[in-house]
Amino acid sequence: MILRQDVTAHAILLDEHPAAPTGIGEGAGDRAIRRPDPAPPPCGVPGLSYLGFSYGTRIGYTYAEAFPANVRAMVLDGADDPNADPAAAEVAQEAAFQAAFDVFAGWCAQQAQCPLGNDPKSATAKFQRLLAPLLKEPIVARRRPKVGP
């Protein structure tokens, strides 16, 4: 079985009963895995081949710890630290997002037509004002057609 880390893969790894978590964030890895054999192997290739990014790494390594004999191959990119304090990790991630935005704002301020203005220190407030209307009237994206099973 080959899975990509996405909502479909998450759903396949979940036991399909009413008590199963419905969203990726609800599973927290240890509860995301409910059954040892997520689906019959395609083309007669036994075992799970899994590619997980970020939070998907937690789903992958939790499955591998629970059912090691069922894993054929696994690639975990940007692994989630299983020992990290979730609140501290969230604060660190938000600080990193702000730092990256600040670097971008500094670059943007040097451009002739920066929509954030020419003062990097006021860029966050300007960005928030630009996005504020979306809180009242979100832009709805069209759904992509389902691909796969």
pLDDT of residue 134: 92
Contact in structure between 58 and 82 (CB atoms under 8 Å):
yes
Q: Which residue type does 107 have? A: W
For 117, counting Cβ atoms within 10 Å of its Cβ (0-12 exposed, 13-18 middle, 19+ buried), the class is middle
Say which range, 15-19, 56-60, 114-118, 126-130, has the weakest mean pLDDT: 15-19
Reduce the DSSP state of residue 20 to 3 states and report it. coil
Would you give the distance in Å from CA 103 to the centre of its chain? 23
- pLDDT tens digits, 17-28: 334 333 333 444
- What is this structure's pTM? 0.51
- pLDDT tens digits, 11-59: 444 433 334 333 333 444 445 566 555 555 556 667 778 888 887 888 8
Reduce the DSSP state of residue 115 to 3 states and report it. coil
